[in-house]
Structures are given as C-alpha cells and as structure tokens.
C-alpha cells in the first residue's frame, strides 16, 4: 500500500507542467476536458472581503459577498477510505506563510514539490477524470457567472448565550408572579415521555456556546467573476467573519514622507515603488482563519445553467494557462425571459 501511494505521488509530480502533447509522447493519459455525468471537480479557497450590491438590467438589487481567491495551488492528491472503498482527494493550499511558523514536516511537503509555503490547507473530493497535477493554480476563472456554488465557512463565535438568543425562545411572562426567571429556559422535561425516562433527552435546546462552528451555504449564485483581481461576487451572505486589515501607524515613516526624503525607503528595506507605503498587489496580507471559506460547485443545483443566462459551462477540470482568456470581468445578466 505504501509503495503504491509513493508511485501515485511520483506520477503526479511527473505530470506537473506538462502539456497534452508531451503527456501523449510519454505514454501518459492527458487531462480530460469533457464533463461527464459523474464528474466532480475541486473547488477553491477564498477569503471573505466584505459585502456590496449589484444591479440587474431589470432593476433588481442583489446583495453580494466578495470572496478573494488567494494563490490557490494543488499541493497533493491522496487516496482516502470511504464507505464505497477508496476515494480521491485533492489537497489545495492558499495564501503564504513564513518558514519559521511551520514545522519541518509541514514545510517539507512544500519544499519537496517545489511549491511556495501555504497558510491555509483544504481538501476536496474529486472524481478520477478531474485529477489535477501538483502545482496547478486555481484562479477565479475556475467559476463562471450564473452557476451555483456551495460556500463553507466558520460562523462568528458569540460565546455562552441563553436560550432566547441561541434558540429564539419567547421567554417567560414579564410580570404576575415571575421573579428573576424572565429569560430562563423553563423546565427540562426530565421525566416526560416515558415512565422511567428520568433524564434530559439528547438534543434538548438549552443555553450554551453559540457560533464558531462550520456552516455551509448551499446553491449560491455567482454574479460576477473578476479575473484581474481574482475576486468572486456571490449572491447572498456567507456565515463567517470578514477580514479587515488592522491600521498600523508609523510616526517616523510618516514624518519622513512629509519631509520629502525618498532615500528613506531603501533604509526600511522597501522597494522604491512601495514608498511611502505598501499597496496591493505589492504584498499579500494574510487574514484570520475565521474568514477563510471553501467554494465548490453546488450539489443541489444542476451544473448546466446556460439557460439561466451564464456564458458557458465551467472549465473542466479547471482553467488552464493554454485556455482562451476572454474578458477579465464577467457579469451575470439575469435569467432569460423564456425560462
């Protein structure tokens, strides 16, 4: 089993950065670009940047969530046991990370494959025909406007909350004999339902920790794809925190900027183009773990939604460098009137 796993990883490394003609000359099977009924491709890792709104030609206003796809690459593919035998998972990495923050084992899996260090790691179940070579980049062009996606994130933690906020209980009467129990949950029904069931049944709604768990939003519409900045505009809300960079003021740097001394930039170790400050995309600012989301094709909606107004089928297994670029910004124009 171990030998077959190492051979599987070696084939992925050999397939990396090879064209279809080179794969055919080497006797290897090229990547399949045709959708099948059982095809299941990988998703992407993004960072929630905030919310905005958009407009349809009909005048309808749409709430939109902005998700940035940050340097997503395929790290490895591995076989995992499933109820039906074995399945194929693609592990994707996103963001960047310092070497000192990783252990020797964690950094070794990137260095052995010639990949930059990644900050976030997620896995996606894929089919055999959707296997991608190690090092393949997944960008915002992986999705097309008009398709539906499932977005998974970690909701905001609210701490320990009572039953009224956690479960929406009405509460007890505010007067007429009620004292110090206005927001209490009431009886737990310890001996109700059976003769000898003197216990609290599992799943009873009680006060406790609220939020901070994994939430999946199903079948959200992709309204806009900004390939230039790797941004996805998704209709609806995503239950996770929003990354907001902290303000960091440097009095000495600001004083030097007002005095007009551009020679201070080399002293600070900054490139000349970064003076008086760093601007995107000069550097990538990592966000907290709570604002990271997983975006993949929706499982409850049909994949072919060309009749709903989007341009074409999503690229399979992903958008590759040799594919036609097309416009940098694609916007969904709404469903056709015939539907």
Query: Residue 336: what pLDDT?
Result: 55
**Burial (CB count <10 Å: 0-12, 13-18, 19+), residue 295:** buried
222: closest CA among 152, 294, 293, 149? 149
Supply the mean pLDDT for the chain: 77
For strands 208-210 and 159-161, give the pairing: antiparallel
Query: Residue 189: what pLDDT?
Result: 79
Query: Residue 263: what pLDDT?
Result: 42
Query: Residue 4: what pLDDT?
Result: 46
pTM score, two decimals?
A: 0.75
Q: What is the DSSP letter of 337?
A: T
Query: Residue 274: what pLDDT?
Result: 40
Q: In the chain, which residues have pLDDT < 70?
A: 1-29, 192-196, 244-290, 302-312, 336-339
Helix, strand, or coil here: 148?
A: strand
Percent of the chain at pLDDT > 90 equals 43
């Amino acid at each position: 089993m171990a030998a077959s796993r190492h051979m599987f990883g070696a084939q992925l490394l050999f397939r990396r950065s090879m064209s279809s003609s080179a794969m055919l000359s080497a006797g290897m099977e090229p990547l399949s670009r045709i959708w099948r009924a059982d095809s299941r491709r990988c998703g992407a890792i993004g960072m929630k940047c905030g919310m905005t709104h958009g407009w349809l030609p009909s005048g309808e206003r749409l709430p939109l969530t902005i998700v940035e796809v940050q340097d997503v690459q395929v790290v490895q593919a591995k076989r995992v046991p499933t109820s039906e035998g074995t399945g194929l998972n693609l592990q994707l990495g996103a963001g960047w990370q310092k070497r000192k923050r990783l252990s020797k084992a964690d950094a070794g899996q990137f260095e052995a494959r010639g990949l930059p260090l990644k900050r976030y790691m997620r896995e996606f179940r894929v089919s055999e025909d959707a296997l991608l070579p190690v090092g393949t980049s997944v960008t915002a062009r992986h999705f097309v406007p008009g398709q539906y996606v499932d977005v998974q994130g970690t909701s905001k933690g609210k701490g320990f909350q009572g039953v009224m906020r956690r479960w929406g209980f009405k509460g007890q009467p505010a007067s007429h004999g009620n004292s110090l129990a206005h927001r209490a949950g009431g009886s737990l029904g310890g001996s109700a339902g059976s003769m000898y069931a003197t216990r609290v049944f599992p799943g009873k709604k009680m006060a406790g920790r609220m939020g901070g768990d994994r939430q999946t939003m199903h079948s959200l519409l992709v309204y806009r794809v900004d390939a230039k900045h790797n941004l996805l505009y998704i209709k609806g809300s995503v239950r996770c925190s929003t990354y907001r960079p902290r303000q960091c003021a440097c009095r000495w740097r600001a004083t030097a900027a007002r005095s007009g001394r551009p020679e201070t930039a080399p002293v600070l170790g900054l490139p000349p183009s970064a003076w008086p400050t760093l601007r995107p995309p000069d550097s990538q600012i990592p966000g907290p773990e709570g604002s990271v989301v997983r975006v993949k094709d929706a499982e409850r909606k049909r994949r072919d939604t060309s009749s709903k107004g989007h341009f074409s089928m999503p690229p399979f297994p992903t958008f590759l460098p040799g594919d036609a670029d097309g416009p940098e910004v694609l916007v969904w124009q709404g469903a056709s009137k015939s539907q």
